[in-house]
Amino acid sequence: MTRKLGVGVVGIGWCGTEHLKAFVRNPHAEVVLLCSRDEARARERLDRAGVRIPRARFTRHYRDLLDSPDIDIVSIASPNHLHADQAVAAARAGKHILLEKPTGLDLRELARIRDAVRGSGVRTIVSFELHYNPYLRLARWLREAGWLGEIRFARVQYLSRVTDWYSGWSWARTTRSGRSHLLAAGCHAVDALRWCSGLEAAEVSAYGETVTTGYQYPTTMVVNVRLNRPGRRGGKAALGQIVSSTDFMMPYTFGVELMGDRATLRDNLLLWNERSVALEQLQTACPIAHVQFHPDKTPTGADVVRIACEMPGTADVGSHPFQGEIDELVACVLEDRETHLSVFDAQKTMELCIAADRSAARDGRPVRLPLLRS
């Protein structure tokens, strides 16, 4: 292929601007068309963010992105209630898709996206960009490489205080578009729990509470999960928990705990009881760049390994690793292969969110998964 892959973006807001920055940096992609309800406002946003794409055209009509023969990839960064229709239309038009989370807001939307993408064979990547964060990569590797042993318990907490400072406040706090705290925000924690632990939900039981004013849905969700080991029958059960909240008076926190039968990862600490973790061996084996391991002690004097690396430490999309996901999508389109984070994989995360919301609406009654049969 001699020409670059043409890119169209819909939703020139907080997140879409970061998609644009990453596409501009990719040497095999060229942004050709932007869909905005107001060109002058979008141009002003891009100027403010320092995004320079002088050759890009603008349109107010999403259909123009799909009808443009010079567009190969459509990036969907619009409010949540528009994702399913836009993704289905893009797939039917044969466009590869970068789809912001949440993919679909209910089972019907999820099935429509799945069927349209399956039918067209386009490549998709869903924007759980924390997969490219060094700490999350490390957590997954520690588990995969056996340093933690078999996972018995996994907990991920997404705690982010989002109020009227947020550019998407008008829509994200509504049930029509944001839909629920898990779908709008905590899905990052659900996805990380699945990706890092390698386990899949079999059943959930959840509670929700509405605390922060302005939201049309519960603003703290606590979800207990029975976890299965995919591809394995029997074996010991694993349990998980997801906490998703905007209510707590603390800075943004993305807490990760993976407790195995050999060792435990708890945020930036590696802990153990019987078998100590061999620090030098760990440092030599670790394939993730810029990760350092240091010996340390707990407040009660136990030996631990302290991890120094880039953590998922902010809600600011300007610091999120979108480059990794966009580079992967572009490479997969060029090489005609599936991404590791397609709509098919993300569907499992969405189903878990929807199941937890259903359970919370029924006062914690357990809901079994999967909700959709393939």
Ligand X SMILES: NC(=O)c1ccc[n+]([C@@H]2O[C@H](COP(=O)([O-])OP(=O)(O)OC[C@H]3O[C@@H](n4cnc5c(N)ncnc54)[C@H](OP(=O)(O)O)[C@@H]3O)[C@@H](O)[C@H]2O)c1
Give the span between the Cα atoms of 178 and 278, in whole angstroms: 45
Q: Which stretch binds ligand X (CB under 6 A): 131-139, 165-173, 209-217, 245-253?
A: 165-173
The answer to whether residues 223 and 358 touch, using CB atoms and an 8 Å cutoff, is no
Peptide bond into 370 cis (omega under 30): yes
With CB under 6 A as the contact rule, the residue among 6, 8, 16, 218 that binds ligand X is 16
Tokens of 309: 């690396």
Tell which residue, 339, 374, 309, 298, has the closest CA to residue 129: 339
Q: Please report how close the Cβ of residue 178 comes to ligand X at its closest, in angstroms.
A: 8
Q: Which stretch binds ligand X (CB under 6 A): 13-21, 114-122, 289-297, 356-364?
A: 13-21
With respect to ligand X, which residue has the nearer C-beta, 73 or 263?
Answer: 73
Contacts of 82 (CB under 8 A, 6+ apart): 10, 11, 76
Sign of CA pseudo-dihedral 18, 181, 311, 146: negative
With respect to ligand X, which residue has the nearer C-beta, 13 or 149?
Answer: 13
Residue 114 is classified by DSSP as H
Q: Please report how close the Cβ of residue 365 comes to ligand X at its closest, in angstroms.
A: 28
With respect to ligand X, which residue has the nearer C-beta, 53 or 279?
Answer: 53
Which DSSP string do the residues of 312-330 spell out, in sequence order? ---S-GGGS-HHHHHHHHH
Q: Compute how many residues bind ligand X; rule: CB under 6 A.
A: 25
Q: Which long-range contacts link 283-292 to residues 24+ away (Cβ below 8 Å)?
A: 285/145, 286/138, 286/141, 287/141, 288/134, 288/137, 288/138, 288/141, 289/134, 290/134, 291/134, 291/138
With respect to ligand X, which residue has the nearer C-beta, 87 or 151?
Answer: 87
With respect to ligand X, which residue has the nearer C-beta, 68 or 78?
Answer: 78
Q: What type of residue sits at position 277?
A: V
Residue facing ligand X at closest CB distance = 13
Residues 304-363, interacting with ligand X (CB under 6 A): 317, 320
Does 156 engage in binding with ligand X (CB under 6 A)?
Answer: no
With CB under 6 A as the contact rule, the residue among 4, 13, 59, 207 that binds ligand X is 13
Give the span between the Cα atoms of 370 and 124, in whole angstroms: 21
Give the span between the Cα atoms of 256 and 114, in whole angstroms: 29
With CB under 6 A as the contact rule, the residue among 101, 161, 173, 348 that binds ligand X is 101
Q: Please report how close the Cβ of residue 65 comes to ligand X at its closest, in angstroms.
A: 13
Q: Please report how close the Cβ of residue 210 comes to ligand X at its closest, in angstroms.
A: 20
Q: Which stretch binds ligand X (CB under 6 A): 12-20, 109-117, 135-143, 284-292?
A: 12-20
Q: Please report how close the Cβ of residue 170 comes to ligand X at its closest, in angstroms.
A: 7
Residues 25-84, interacting with ligand X (CB under 6 A): 36-38, 41-42, 77-80
Give the span between the Cα atoms of 226 and 62, in whole angstroms: 41
Residues 233-292, interacting with ligand X (CB under 6 A): none
Tokens of 345: 């994989």
With respect to ligand X, which residue has the nearer C-beta, 41 or 297?
Answer: 41
Q: Which residues bind ligand X (CB under 6 A)?
A: 11-16, 36-38, 41-42, 77-80, 100-101, 127, 129, 167-168, 171, 184, 317, 320
